[in-house]
Amino acid sequence: MDLIVSTDVLAEFCERAAQFEFVTVDTEFLRETTYWPRLCLIQVATDDEAVLIDPLAPDIKLAPFFKLLANPGVTKVFHAARQDVEIFVKLTGAVPHNIFDTQVAASVCGFGDSASYDSLVRAICKVELDKSSRFTDWSARPLTEKQRTYALADVTYLRDIYRELRKQVEETRRWDWVEDEMTTLRSIDTYVVQPEQAWERLKMKFNRPRDLAALKVLAQWREQKAQDTDQPRSRILKDDVLGELAAQRPLTPDAFEKLRAVPRGFGRSASAGEIMSLLRDVEALPKGALPAMPERYRGPSPKGAVGDLIRVLLKAVSEQHGVAARIIATSDEIDALVLDDDADVPALKGWRRKLFGEKALAIKHGRIGLVATRKGIIEFAVNSTQAAE
């Protein structure tokens, strides 16, 4: 079991790794008390060897490994790549070149939505992993033998999983499906949160434009402070606090004390002073400068019968093609296409539109119907007279 703790040894390994078609990669990190993940260990495997790279070692620089990540001639294979890639984007400013996510491939090969690594090891490699070291302190040194064994297993079995999933994707001719999913993972915008866009991740609905304006500036303030101080967002302010502040907009310390979600005494803190200044600016905005609210939809409810029929169609299509339903369309996407034929959702683009989206729109407009048989759900065309009725 090789633990690399020096730059020279790392460079030698990366030179060897660059000769292979692919390498498997995983990381161990801590994030409970920080905004940015703290990288504690890197695991890499080629066909010939598997190593652990210690980024916390005093005599190591990771430049040789970053060069390997940037090599377009070597496929970097991850499982559930998003958090691992986020780490490397933070450290290098770029997404690793030529990445492949086995979780994405598994979802289009019938292994279900968000298939876990250990479930794929069990299904493909016929091995039961010991996951008892998953939540250990990866920043502590020295690493135990059990930690090392656990960490290496995350890249050694990944080699066989990658080969098998690649074979299945090729046999089912679903490379375009995988590529559509990988487009998001390969975009740097996926990993860089711009503070001014932070409000978009908050699932809050307001009926008044000034409330929404307040939420936008408060979410931006929290995101910037979390990034600058390297603290989790919730340690700055929890989501429910942001929502209450946006709706109530307290402008004095005493007003903070009357809010249920705000901690006692917060109104006299420096952060509260910054928030009050932002809220005063929001209160001063003329009506013309407030964000536009979406028009209220007055058609059939997306949660009604039409949406239910489309959800039945989704289940049928998922079973017919052996693809996780959530990969084809989410519940929110179904709601969106019920409301709008031209909704900007993945379900109405690319392979998803051909597989599901066109049929969903046809059901919405009465051009096809569904019938239950012993063989499952079958689609049937509706003639123009029936559709008119």
What are the pLDDT digits (tens) for 108-146? 998 987 899 999 999 999 999 988 888 899 999 999 999
**Domains of the chain as residue ranges with CATH:** 3-190 (3.30.420.10), 195-289 (1.10.150.80), 305-381 (1.10.150)
What are the pLDDT digits (tens) for 274-288? 999 999 999 999 999
pTM (2 d.p.)? 0.89
What are the pLDDT digits (tens) for 16-32? 999 999 999 999 999 99
pLDDT band at 389 (very low <50, low <70, confident <90, very high): very low
What are the pLDDT digits (tens) for 146-176? 999 999 999 999 999 999 999 999 999 999 9
Compare 257 and 383 and report the one with higher pLDDT: 257
pLDDT of residue 387: 47
- Tell me the three-class secondary structure of the chain, residue by residue: CEEECCHHHHHHHHHHHCCCCEEEEEEEEECCCCCCCEEEEEEEECCCCEEEECCCCCCCCCHHHHHHHCCCCCEEEECCCHHHHHHHHHHHCCCCCCEEEHHHHHHHCCCCCCCCHHHHHHHHHCCCCCCCCCCCCCCCCCCCHHHHHHHHHHHHHHHHHHHHHHHHHHHCCCHHHHHHHHHHHCCHHHCCCCHHHHHHHCCCCCCCHHHHHHHHHHHHHHHHHHHHHCCCHHHHCCHHHHHHHHHHCCCCHHHHHCCCCCCCCHHHCHHHHHHHHHHHHHHHCCHHHCCCCCCCCCCCCCCCHHHHHHHHHHHHHHHHHCCCHHHHCCHHHHHHHHHCCCCCCHHHCHHHHHHHHHHHHHHHCCCEEEEEECCEEEEEECCHHHHHC
What are the pLDDT digits (tens) for 204-236? 888 899 999 999 999 999 999 999 999 999 999
What are the pLDDT digits (tens) for 86-111? 999 999 999 999 999 999 999 999 89
